[in-house]
Each structure stands twice: as C-alpha cells, then as structure tokens.
Structure 1
Amino acid sequence: MRILVVGGSGLIGAHVVDVLRERGHQVTTVARSAQPGVDHLLDMDSASADELRAVLAGHDGVVYAARTDEQKPLRKPIHPQFRRDIVDPVVRLFTAAREEGLTRGVVMGSYYTYYDRLRPELRLTQRHTYIRCRVEQAQEAREAAGPGLPVAVLELPFVFGRAGDRLPNWAGALDRWARSRSPLLAPVGGTAVTSARAVAVVAADALERGSDEDIPVADENLTWDEMLGRVAAAVGRPRKVRRMPAAAVRASLRLGGAMQALGRKEPGVNPSYLGDVLLAELYISPLTGRSLDGSVEETFPREP
C-alpha cells in the first residue's frame, strides 16, 4: 500500500513511517516544518481542499499523527480554538481523502475518549474542552470519511520514546524534576502507558485490516508513583516517591483553576475538575504485553 503520514516527523509519526516501511509499504510524509525525511510541507490548520487532495492523490491510506497541546491556557471561550486545532483539520483531511478514493485511515486520538465511554460519571466531555474535542474529532472524522473509508481511532495514553530529537511534550519538566534533588511526590491513582513503537505497530495493523474501530493502546498500567519512580531510576537518581493526600491534590488544582479563571483563561483539561481524573486509575485492558523499559530509557537517558 501507499500511505500518507501527516505529522511524519513527530515522535509517533516517525515511528509509524518506520514500521510501515519495514512491512514493505510506500510512505509519503507531510509536516508543518522542514525536517529530514519530510516530503511535503503543509500547515494543516490552513491547508486548502485542493492542497490536501494534491498530497493525498494516489495513496491508499492516511495516518493523522499531528500533535495538540491540551494544557496551553487560552482566553475563554476556548472551544472554538480547540476545534480549529483538533477537529477541523481532520474533517478537511478525511473529506479530501474520501474524494480521492482512499480506502483506510488512522487518527491518533486520546485515551480520554476511552474513559468517556467507560466512566460516564466523570462527565469528561462536559468538564474538559480538550476531551470534548477529541470525541468530536473521532466522530466527525468518520462522518467526513463516509462508509467507504474506514477510520480507526487509536486512543493513546502517555507515550514514551524518542525519534531523533523528538520527545513526548510532557517529558521535559518531568526529566528536570527527576534529575533534581527535590522530593518526588505523586497523587494516588495511575495511568496507562505505552511506547511510540507500540503505537506504530498497532497503527500499521489497523491500516492493513482496514479497521474502523476505537483502539485503546497500552503496554502497562502504572500507578503515578510507579511511573515517576521508573523515570527517576532511568536518569540515575532513584529514590522514594511519596504519595500526596487526595484532598491536597484537589485543593491545589482547584486553586490553579481559580487563578486562571481570574485571567479569563482555561486550558483544555480544566484544573478545577482534574483531580477526579488524576486520582482515578486510568487503566486500559487488554495490554499489549510489550516491555516499556527501552522506551523509558530512550525518553529519560542516564547522564554519562
């Protein structure tokens, strides 16, 4: 098959490109900025229908692996901006893909959509604009694609790994904290985690099957203190991670939310309700069974 990977120079996109080529598929890459291995420069926020159809022509499938920062505070109302960043580019892309006759697609989504289905009592789409837009992204991508173009949505948790100088967008602050002499503190609860390589393998499988499923992806389920302890050990600063009282976590997050509200700003994941998410066990089943050790060490290398 011939596959177009949008965001092909990013952490996940680069691994998708590698896995597809290892399996003998032809791959074309699209990115916003010039990087080695990028075939087409295109800003998905402003690309016209004609520009999208031109890069999609002759392909069998497309992978959307562009990244969005859900924690960037924006001035209220924030939903229109998050739609422009998350939903609209995917709708335009899959509309063009349908018109060009593509037969399969993959969207890199978020495991928050998995928990929106699994834990409706958390009211995630009502409380968090980012999660609402991720749900809209999956639904509207499929509507734009139509019945002849199945679209698989990979629901991704924390993703470890490296692609050149590309790292997870959350890794920098955690790396500095783990290497410091500061005490390590974590809330109760936990999260699913995976590697960029594992995501790429699942994406390639979905393309080859022509899947239209929602596919949650995880290698391991970790408590927050286990995850932070793994990072500290990887950088060569192993130490005990202490658990924070749930009341303290909720209070600090609500205070942060109130401070942002005073400035009429809000991130995509609302800190006033984030405690309900952080203190839950955001686990995925079944797991891939792949080891995460190598990806943790890639993301957080030990100092020489």
Structure 2
Amino acid sequence: MDVLVVGASGLIGRHVVARLRAGGHGATSVARTARDGVDHVLDATTAAEADFRAVLAGHDGVVFAAGADDREVPGKPAYPVFHRGNVAPVVRLLTAAREEGLTRAAVLGSYYTHFHRLHPEWRLAERHPYIRSRVEQARAGREAAGPDLPVAVLELPFVFGRAGDRLPNWAGPLDRWVRSRSPLLAPPGGSAATSAAQVAGHVVDVLERASGEDLAVATENLTWRDMIGRIASAAGHPRAVRGVPGAVARAALRLTGLAHAARGRQAGIDPAHADVLLLRELFVPPSGPGSLDDAIAETFPRD
C-alpha cells in the first residue's frame, strides 16, 4: 500500500508516516513548507485539483492531516476561514484521489462531530463555525470521493505526544502554567484524550481495511482536574488542582465572547455557547486499551 500523507510535517502526520513505513507500506509526505523528510511542498489550502493529482498519481491511499484549528479567532464571519482550511482542500484532494483511482482515504477530524451526531439538540454546527466546517468536511469530502473511494473520518479529541520538535499546538501555554507559581484551577467537565501514536495506528488500520467509517478515537477519558494534575506531575511540579464553579466558568466564557465581538472577531468555538462543550464530560468509549502516561510525559517532560 502506497499512501500520500498531506500535513506530514505536523505532530500526527509525522507519526502516520512513521507507522506506515514501519508496517512495510510506502508513505509520501506533503507539507506546506520545506523541511527534512518532506517529499513535496504543497499548500493544501491553495492547491488546485491538478496539483493534487500530480502528487497522488501512483498511490493507493491518501491521508488528510492538515486543516484549520478550533482555537483560531478570525474576523467575523469566521466560517469562510474554516471552510477554506478544512472543507475546500478536502473536496479538491478527494476529487483528485477519485480521478486518480485511489481506493482508500482517511481524514483527521474532530470529536465534536461525534457529539454533533449524538446530541443534535446542542445545535453544535449551527453555533460553532469550526464544528460546522468539520461536519461539512466529512459530508462534502465523501460526496467528492464517490462510492468507490471509502473515506474514514477519525474524530480526534485532545492529542498528546511529540514528534521531533512538534508538540500539540495547545501545549505551550499549559506547560508554562503548570511550571509557574500560579494556582492550578479547573472547571467541571472533561474530555476524551489520546496520543499521536495511537491515532497513527488507527489511521493505518482504517487504510488497510479500506474502511469508510466514522471513528471516535479515545485512549482515556479525563476530567479537567485530572488532566491538569497529571500534566503538572509529568512536568515535575505536582500540586493540588482547585475546582472552579461552573457559574464562574460560564461568566468567563461569556465575557470572552463579548471581547471577541467588540473587536469584530468570531471564534471557531463560540464562547457564548462553549459551556455545553467545555463544562460537560465529553467522554468517548476508549477505542483500544492503553494509558496516556507516556504521551503526557513526552508532551510535558520533567525539568
């Protein structure tokens, strides 16, 4: 199996390339900027179908491991930014993959789409531009791929781990916080979490099976208090994590939303409605046995 990996210089993309090669498969890496290990330099947000066809030729499968992050706060309206980063390139890529006769594909998405299906009453796609883009990414991408190119969508929560100099893009502020003298505080709720290595294993599995499933990936489910405490311990600064009342957290989220609106900006996850996501336990049945201890230690190494 020869696979093209788009976004191969990122945290998960690097793990996917390594896992494919370790399993005896071919892996061709595509990234936006030139660096060691990148076979083709191509910006997925501006590449045309013809550009994708040129690098897809001769491959059996393709992985999309790029896209716009939910933490972006662009100018209002925000949805065009997330559509440009998450939807449009996947449609062009999978259209080109279909035309080149590829037989399998995987798209790395968000576990918010899992909860969009599970809880339509939360109106997640309507309220959050980022989630809308991920829902549309899966729908429009599969439509572009057609019936003969199965597209698996891996719905990812918090991802821990390291690949060379690559870390999760949210790790820096947390790392500085747990190493500081500031108190550690956590609201109610929590999240599913996994590791980049675990994600890579699932990617290779769905490609080998030519699966077209929606796969919500999780290794462990962590309350925010547990997650922050384990991060602090891994970094060598163990201490108590104090709880923050939900009402206080909701007020802070609403103030953040007002600040964005005053600056003419709109977050991918709208703070005015983020309490439904951030103050609940967004847990997912684990997709395999395992512990996150090693991945957390890689992400937040001890002093």
TM-score range, shorter chain: over 0.9
Aligned partners of 2:219 and 2:292 also within 8 Å? yes
1:83 maps to 2:86: no
Normalised by the size of structure 2, how large is the TM-score? Answer: 0.99
1:240 maps to 2:222: no
Question: For the residues of structure 1 that align with 2:284 and 2:73, how far apart are their CA atoms?
Answer: 28
How far is 1:121 from its partner? 2.2
Structure 1 match to 2:175 = 175
Give the partner amino acid of 1:213.
E
Question: For the residues of structure 1 that align with 2:141 and 2:92, how far apart are their CA atoms?
Answer: 9
Give the partner amino acid of 2:103.
T
Aligned partners of 1:116 and 1:125 also within 8 Å? yes
Please give the residue correspondences for 1:127-276 in structure 2 after superposition, counting only pairs within 5 Å: 127-276=127-276
Structure 1 residues 44-103: Cα deviation after superposition (integer angstroms, max 9, x where no partner): 111122111000000000000014222221111111121111100000000000000000
Aligned partners of 1:159 and 1:195 also within 8 Å? yes
Structure 2 match to 1:115 = 115
More off after superposition, 119-128 vs 130-139: 119-128
C-alpha root-mean-square deviation of aligned residues, in Å?
Answer: 0.8
1:36 maps to 2:28: no
Structure 1 match to 2:297 = 297
Structure 2 match to 1:58 = 58
Question: For the residues of structure 2 that align with 1:71 and 1:4, how far apart are their CA atoms?
Answer: 27
SS at match of 2:274: helix
Structure 1 match to 2:24 = 24
Aligned partners of 1:220 and 1:287 also within 8 Å? no
Normalised by the size of structure 1, how large is the TM-score? Answer: 0.98
How far is 1:260 from its partner? 0.9
Give the partner amino acid of 2:153.
V
Aligned partners of 1:198 and 1:290 also within 8 Å? no
Aligned partners of 2:216 and 2:287 also within 8 Å? no
Instruction: State the identity as a percent.
Output: 61
How far is 1:148 from its partner? 0.4
Question: For the residues of structure 1 that align with 2:125 and 2:66, how far apart are their CA atoms?
Answer: 21
Give the partner amino acid of 2:87.
V
1:105 maps to 2:105: yes
Aligned partners of 2:67 and 2:85 also within 8 Å? no
Structure 2 match to 1:92 = 92
Q: Which runs of 5+ in 2 are unaligned?
A: none
Runs of 4+ in 1 over 2 A off after TM superposition: none
Structure 1 residues 111-170: Cα deviation after superposition (integer angstroms, max 9, x where no partner): 000011112222111110000110000111100000000000000000000001000010
Give the partner amino acid of 1:41.
V
Aligned partners of 2:220 and 2:286 also within 8 Å? no
Aligned partners of 1:157 and 1:191 also within 8 Å? yes
Give the partner amino acid of 1:76.
K
Q: Which runs of 5+ in 1 are unaligned?
A: none
SS at match of 1:74: coil
